[in-house]
Structure 1
Amino acid sequence: MTVSLTTDLVELLGPAQAALFAEQLDLHTVGELIRLRPRSYVRRNGVSKSAELVEGEWVTLVATVVSAELKTMRNRPGKLLKVLLDDGTHKVEATFFNPFAIARQVRTGVRLMVAGKLTLFNGSPQLTHPDWMVMPDDTDQVELSSVGSELFSALNSLLRDAAEAHERSADASSGDDGGRNISLPTGSEMFERDMVPIYRATASLPTSTIMGAVAVALLQLPELDDALNAQQRHECGDLMSEDEAIRAIHQPRSEEEIERARTRLKFDEALALQLALAQRRYADRGRRGPSCPHVPGGLEDALRQRLPFELTGGQEQVIEEIGADLGSGEPMSRLLQGEVGSGKTLVALIAMLRMVDNGYQCALMAPTEVLAAQHLRSITTMLGDLATAGELGAADGATKVVALTGSMRTAAKKAALLDVVSGTAGIIIGTHALLSDNVTFFNLGLVVVDEQHRFGVSQRDSLRERRSDDVIPHLLVMTATPIPRTVAMTIYGDLETSMLTEMPKGRAPVQTTVVPARRTDWVARTWERLAEEIQSGRQVYVVCSRIGDEDSGSSRRAGTKGSSKAKKSSAKSSARGKPDKNGTAQGSVAEGSQEKTVSLLDLEGIVRRGPLGQFRVATLHGRMPADEKAAVMDEFVAGEIDVLVSTTVIEVGVDVANASAMLIVDADRFGVSQLHQLRGRVGRGRHRGLCLLLTAVTPQSPAWARLEAVAGSTDGYELALVDLAARREGDVLGESQSGEGVVLHYLSLLEDGDVIDAAYIVADAAVGADITLSSQPAMSGLVDAVFARHQVRYLDKA
């Protein structure tokens, strides 16, 4: 059998083993398997330096049995085996329950490989019922556990089949093995190496089986063609060859060799990402986009003349960058990053008006109806009579701005669709409803996607494909979520980037304070402080992390004092407990005594019975009908609601200048960047903003440190690095966003910026010379090997 990087594991291992690797490790091809990173290494006579014993961590060690004592359990039937292990550095006690298989094999002097979660008892390290395997002695006939022996036999069978396949291949080529010295170890010989790799195993897929599968793959895999030539390897840091690195990472001879192999494989992951993104980046080069120069005296100029403030220097620079793209004749693909409140929407509106001045339509797609409604409100407010085409009193040359969302009533939706297809509407603002097949644009020229991480690439591109000619609409992607440069290069590497870091003049930073829930005096003062803001004529948000299990999908909206519209849809609160002397529900979040987070429905009751109960209170969450959500936001914008109790539905885009304070309940349940986004909803007007982070975690916890980081900085990009350090990078790359995360075994987006930079240069040059990489098959194969087919599709989605 000829094995390549794209060979399915079914062909290599058989259907039963391949199914295990697919189910347990999400590995499907030889390329994925051989790039699986060993989590640690053990020496034959001890634990490696990288596997020091730390309480709570999963450890794997090879040690000698000092003693083994079989005991009867006191409190229940059965026996347990106490084994004292010594690896030369540590002494660890391992306990096995109902240990009939292991008890027959373990005796003083036997070497065991054990793996499990480490605990400490009176300062002594303990393992409770760890995974185990008897290490082979000098013979091939080794007794293992009932499970282990079957796996070990299967391992030897795989190795034997690989050896026979190699011999047949060698015979067919007259004994010429291409100059490679291929050793064909037996199962026991694999464990006789000085350094043995340990993989992230599961109960049904132990490290020995993974090790055997990797060995089989390496035995049958011919020498890998290198994606880099000798000069490139030298220029990128004297890298090992790809073939050497793959083999060394699984069968190392020294720790130095492991580090060199990791360095090369780290570069491979960066290069594979950058190659795939460069192909997307170059895909539109040479294609025709709408050519839209500045039109003197048009809507763009009319809006700028009406603005009651000066644009920041950063806004002017970004407008110039976007303008150059719009007039180039090629389709623009640009990411606009901006700090919370830096004025991205205004920049996007000026770009859209330039398109309208040139006779084109623009589509602005938002991830939620609340955000779409906010965009409609703010854009029509900024434009005034410039957005009232067809109405009495419309300005000369005015356009029409329409909304298109899934919850619109039939008559309104039909009217909007007619304005879109006829070209009456120059700016169309909507949600995923814009992707519907029944939406036909008259002359679409620009697609603006807000909060791109909520969409996939395929969704934004489906809008660009709505034209019947060969003109590709421009694309402007906006995000208010600060993205570290290295992350932007790996998620949005197919887009040119513009950044807004300068805040509008006169806007003061939001003051942020962490409030410990155990300090009842602090909590009481928190509610008083919010009341003081309202008494001064301002409005506040109270935010929590969930709606409430008892909600069952129905909308719950509290009546608002003094608002007849809100009273019609009022609902009773369901908060638990009775109010105490401070008006706060006992056993509630105010005292930090609940084990689980406080729901919005409970929080509504707490607010109503506390110091804020005298004010007009309403709730907002994502399960409410769209018309109710819109009504609540309209009332809040109009100042008819004092306290808005909400989930994170208000995280982005909501812009109420009179809202000056926010309380975030169970703040430790939110990510750092998410807290920064939420905080950006206040202090958007002339009043200084206040954000209070209420938490029940202790000051010694990592969660508290993250909250202190938010309180200590208003720099979103600095906080994004803190966020990245606290999260799995696979999540950052999009598993939670697209359902198919890109798995990075070696590359760190936080620490390897220089590697990503070097890979970008190599990839850009390679794809610039040949976008298909057909003349460089090793580079094309690297993308398939690192990410495989199902993961490359991720790059086409998110």
Structure 2
Amino acid sequence: MELSRSASPFETPIEYLKGVGPARAEVLKKELAIFTYADLLRHFPYKYIDRTRFYKVKDIHPEMPYVQVIVRLLRKEIIGEKRAKRLVVQAQDDTGQIELVWFQGVTWVEKSLRVGKAYIIFGKPGMFNGRPQMSHPEMEQYSPQAIKRQGNLTLQPAYNSTEKLKQFSLDSKGIQKLTTILIEEYARYLQENLPQYIINKYRLMDRREAYRQMHFPDDANKLNEAQHRLKFEELFFLQYKLLKNKLYRTQKFKGNIFDKVGHYFNGFYNDKLPFPLTNAQKRVLKEIRIDTQRGVQMNRLLQGDVGSGKTVVALMSILIAIDNGFQACMMAPTEILASQHYQTVKSLVGDDFVEVALLTGSTPKKQRKIIHERLLSGELKILIGTHALIEDAVQYKNLGFVVIDEQHRFGVEQRSKLWRKNVVPPHVLVMTATPIPRTLAMTMYGDLDVSVIDELPAGRKPIETVHFYESQRLRMFGMMREEIAKGRQIYVVYPLIKESEKLDLKNLEEGIETMRREFPLPKYQISIVHGKIPAAVKEEEMQRFINAQTQIMVATTVIEVGVNVPNASVMIIENAERFGLSQLHQLRGRVGRGAEQSYCILMSSNKLSNDGRIRLDTMVKTNNGFEISEIDLQLRGPGNIEGTQQSGVLDLKVANLATDQELLMQVRKCVEDIFEKDPQLTHPENQILHQASQSKNAGLSWDKIS
């Protein structure tokens, strides 16, 4: 397909690339989501193989990843029939023999190979009947030119492929051929998308050269330079988009000014606050106070571990809004969590201080009608609930402050509906009890200001965490009896993983039987909570535990959020190796809420994977949620951290938030400096950024995030 020089080809459908066509295009789309030239260009190799070294047959062994050998073909034979057919070729060099085997494309391969000729073979070595073997090797007839070609290709790219693609001859080698055509034909159309002063300052490789070297590196140094350039570019446009949105919002959305602190805030602080605020809580309140006086809509993320006092900070911020004549609401993702916030707020403010209501899907119609009326009249000052808060029927007289808990559980459209509940958008405080690594916060929430409560309330003792193997179960029972004798309560949590629900339920049922045997009636009472029991029964069982009518709660992870029992001092997590670090940390946060020493016991099988061992060792070593989140990021990668997959901002092709933290900080500072000096991007040297943000053709990486 011929293009004019002014046009960019990178949005061209992939079927138009020489060597693709409709059938191959269809399988590229289905298997690798390659729809355009740009998608193929950004289908980077997942590794590179050194093709400069040649081995002898006697030196190769199965532990080697890939080897290259020059051999002469002795004989070839097709064995079996139809689907069981395979091609077996015997070959040798001057040190020994090797067997080459093909199970697919047998007839075509057999016809293309000539006995007696020398070949360069390349592939993963194995062993069969004590002799070296290689399955489906790459084959090229030996010649001085072929040797020169291999020598020139120092690092050979290896591309992800699938069995389906291989049926269309689109294995790694096939994809490499298409990429070669693409780069040879169209690399000249790649436009620079960063200002020259940035390229000079950070010593970045030319963009065209970077793409060329990423696919076909001259050497390891050139590959590193290319990776650095494309990582910088990818992170740059991600931060550019986030900070541009932040700047746009501050310019477009004016905010209500909370210029006074009055009766509600002072009355609560002086007469009702049950404990002194930590320095971290005071710092965050000051940050919110400054934000709400600027006349610009606040958008702030509040991070803090379970039990760090985020709800009190949110409530006191809400009281400032009420002092200034506004209403406030707090939205949580589940009824359990919304109810918990409601109970917490009610217990703090009492019945006659300020009117608070709870609105969820379960709220009766009659009660709902009263809430709607009192909200519209302005008598109802604080509304707490689930996504029921964003229904069209819910109208406020003057909504000025919005708190969103665990925001990653809500969609963008759901959140923005709350903004539209008032003429001037309300100030927004987003809370999360899931500690977010700094790099992830800068990408997921990079357009928000961030506050952190990194201090537990006074009088709280750090939770002691121990790891017991199955063989130490009697010791665990002993600790349980000791704590119950002191009047304390205990959680015992089992994993529940959807794929194997029957197996997990069996584990839970066996666990219940064991607990009943070890802690028999009438001396001990046990609550049982899991997803298979009716909601009313679940609620009743939870209440029994909350009211200290039972000493032990055997449960699945439904108690991860929504249960606050200061008297519970032990959290036992069965099969702890089956939980992620973030979930283990959340579960541990259910205890340690009173002044007494609390414990978390991690029970595991004797056999642990390396990652499983690291997770449990991390839990034993530290209670710091941010340290834990950084290790979780290293183990799982950003795409698997809760909430990031649906956020859509982490479709990174080259950069890795777990390993490129320093680069991300550098890039963020670079973008901040640009907007500080040239907010509207009117300077001539920054025009290229404006174009890259407007045009898909100008910046391939922009396609993925705009």
How high is the TM-score relative to the length of structure 2?
A: 0.85
Q: Which residue of the other structure, out of 425, 434, 442, is the alignment partner of 1:481?
A: 434
Alpha-carbon offset, residue 212 of structure 1:
3.0
Q: Look up the match of 2:282.
A: 316
Q: Which residue of the other structure, out of 187, 209, 216, is the alignment partner of 2:174?
A: 209
CA distance in 1, matches of 2:594, 2:247: 42
Task: Provide closer, same or farther for how the CA distance between residues 283 and 621 of structure 1 changes in structure 2, counting only shifts above 3 A.
Answer: farther
Q: Does 1:31 align with 2:38?
A: yes
Q: Does 1:9 align with 2:14?
A: yes
Contact map agreement 1:491 1:733 (CA 8 A) in 2: no
What is the correspondence of 1:223-234 to structure 2 with a 5 Å cutoff?
A: 223-234=189-200
Contact map agreement 1:547 1:600 (CA 8 A) in 2: no
Q: Look up the match of 1:151.
A: none
Task: Provide closer, same or farther for how the CA distance between residues 85 and 735 of structure 1 changes in structure 2, counting only shifts above 3 A.
Answer: farther
Deviations 1:226-270 (A, max 9, x none): 22233212322x111222211221122222111110110111111
CA distance in 1, matches of 2:516, 2:615: 30
Contact map agreement 2:303 2:450 (CA 8 A) in 1: yes
Q: Look up the match of 1:776.
A: 689
CA distance in 2, matches of 1:307, 1:442: 28
Q: Does 1:339 align with 2:305?
A: yes
Task: Provide closer, same or farther for how the CA distance between residues 603 and 764 of structure 1 changes in structure 2, counting only shifts above 3 A.
Answer: same
Alpha-carbon offset, residue 478 of structure 1:
1.0
Q: Look up the match of 2:650.
A: 742
How many residues align structurally? 677
In terms of mean alpha carbon deviation, does 645-654 or 704-713 score higher?
Answer: 645-654
Q: Look up the match of 2:119.
A: 110
Task: Provide closer, same or farther for how the CA distance between residues 212 and 741 of structure 1 changes in structure 2, counting only shifts above 3 A.
Answer: farther
CA distance in 1, matches of 2:286, 2:610: 46
Q: Which residue of the other structure, out of 457, 466, 469, is the alignment partner of 2:421?
A: 466
What is the letter of the counterpart of residue 758 of structure 1?
Q
Task: Provide closer, same or farther for how the CA distance between residues 625 and 438 of structure 1 changes in structure 2, counting only shifts above 3 A.
Answer: farther
Deviations 1:456-483 (A, max 9, x none): 333322211222x2x1111111111111
Q: Look up the match of 1:498.
A: 451
What is the letter of the counterpart of residue 776 of structure 1?
L
Contact map agreement 1:303 1:383 (CA 8 A) in 2: no
Alpha-carbon offset, residue 309 of structure 1:
1.8
Deviations 1:17-43 (A, max 9, x none): 333232222233333332222122234
Alpha-carbon offset, residue 514 of structure 1:
1.1
Q: Does 1:660 align with 2:569?
A: yes
Q: Look up the match of 1:567.
A: none
Q: Does 1:532 align with 2:482?
A: yes
Alpha-carbon offset, residue 646 of structure 1:
2.2
Q: Does 1:418 align with 2:373?
A: yes
Q: Does 1:792 align with 2:700?
A: no
Contact map agreement 1:734 1:742 (CA 8 A) in 2: no
CA distance in 1, matches of 2:638, 2:54: 28
CA distance in 2, matches of 1:479, 1:126: 55
What is the correspondence of 1:156-195 to structure 2 with a 5 Å cutoff?
A: 193-195=153-155
Q: Look up the match of 1:170.
A: none
Task: Provide closer, same or farther for how the CA distance between residues 207 and 302 of structure 1 changes in structure 2, counting only shifts above 3 A.
Answer: same
What is the letter of the counterpart of residue 480 of structure 1?
A
Q: Look up the match of 1:266.
A: 231
CA distance in 1, matches of 2:505, 2:269: 46
What is the correspondence of 1:31-180 to structure 2 with a 5 Å cutoff?
A: 31-46=38-53, 62-65=68-71, 78=84, 80=86, 95-97=101-103, 99-106=106-113, 109-114=118-123, 129-130=135-136, 132-135=137-140
CA distance in 2, matches of 1:765, 1:222: 31
**5+ residue gaps, structure 1:** 143-187, 386-393, 553-593, 794-798
SS at 2:384's partner residue? Answer: strand
> How large is the Cα RMSD of the aligned pairs?
3.8
Deviations 1:303-341 (A, max 9, x none): 453223211111101110011111221110111111232
CA distance in 1, matches of 2:391, 2:16: 42
CA distance in 2, matches of 1:89, 1:472: 78
Contact map agreement 1:662 1:692 (CA 8 A) in 2: yes
Contact map agreement 2:492 2:573 (CA 8 A) in 1: yes
Q: Look up the match of 1:176.
A: none
In terms of mean alpha carbon deviation, does 620-629 or 640-649 score higher?
Answer: 620-629
What is the letter of the counterpart of residue 382 of structure 1?
L
Task: Provide closer, same or farther for how the CA distance between residues 441 and 18 of structure 1 changes in structure 2, counting only shifts above 3 A.
Answer: farther
Task: Provide closer, same or farther for how the CA distance between residues 699 and 215 of structure 1 changes in structure 2, counting only shifts above 3 A.
Answer: closer
How high is the TM-score relative to the length of structure 1?
A: 0.76
Q: Which residue of the other structure, out of 491, 495, 507, is the alignment partner of 1:541?
A: 491
SS at 1:363's partner residue? Answer: strand
SS at 1:776's partner residue? Answer: helix
Q: Does 1:635 align with 2:544?
A: yes
SS at 1:298's partner residue? Answer: helix
In terms of mean alpha carbon deviation, does 326-335 or 530-539 score higher?
Answer: 530-539
Contact map agreement 2:237 2:702 (CA 8 A) in 1: no
Contact map agreement 2:527 2:544 (CA 8 A) in 1: no
Deviations 1:677-696 (A, max 9, x none): 11011011011111111111
SS at 1:545's partner residue? Answer: coil
Deviations 1:152-206 (A, max 9, x none): xxxxxxxxxxxxxxxxxxxxxxxxxxxxxxxxxxxx9899744432111212142
What is the letter of the counterpart of residue 677 of structure 1?
Q
Q: Look up the match of 2:362.
A: 407
Contact map agreement 2:526 2:552 (CA 8 A) in 1: yes
Task: Provide closer, same or farther for how the CA distance between residues 102 and 479 of structure 1 changes in structure 2, counting only shifts above 3 A.
Answer: same
SS at 2:705's partner residue? Answer: helix
In terms of mean alpha carbon deviation, does 483-492 or 630-639 score higher?
Answer: 630-639
Q: Look up the match of 1:701.
A: 610
Deviations 1:121-154 (A, max 9, x none): 8999876x55x543476799x9xxxxxxxxxxxx
What is the letter of the counterpart of residue 415 of structure 1?
I
Q: Look up the match of 1:604.
A: 512
Contact map agreement 2:491 2:552 (CA 8 A) in 1: yes
Q: Look up the match of 2:268.
A: 302
Task: Provide closer, same or farther for how the CA distance between residues 741 and 492 of structure 1 changes in structure 2, counting only shifts above 3 A.
Answer: closer
CA distance in 2, matches of 1:251, 1:639: 67
What is the letter of the counterpart of residue 244 of structure 2?
Q
Deviations 1:630-687 (A, max 9, x none): 4443333222232222222222453211111011111111111221111011011011
Q: Look up the match of 1:196.
A: 156
Contact map agreement 2:207 2:229 (CA 8 A) in 1: yes
CA distance in 1, matches of 2:692, 2:568: 53
Q: Does 1:433 align with 2:398?
A: no
Contact map agreement 2:73 2:119 (CA 8 A) in 1: no
Q: Which residue of the other structure, out of 157, 163, 186, is the alignment partner of 1:220?
A: 186
Deviations 1:426-469 (A, max 9, x none): 222112222333322222212211112322333322211222x2
CA distance in 2, matches of 1:649, 1:89: 64
CA distance in 1, matches of 2:413, 2:207: 32
**5+ residue gaps, structure 2:** none
Contact map agreement 1:31 1:785 (CA 8 A) in 2: no
- Percent identical across equivalent pairs? 33
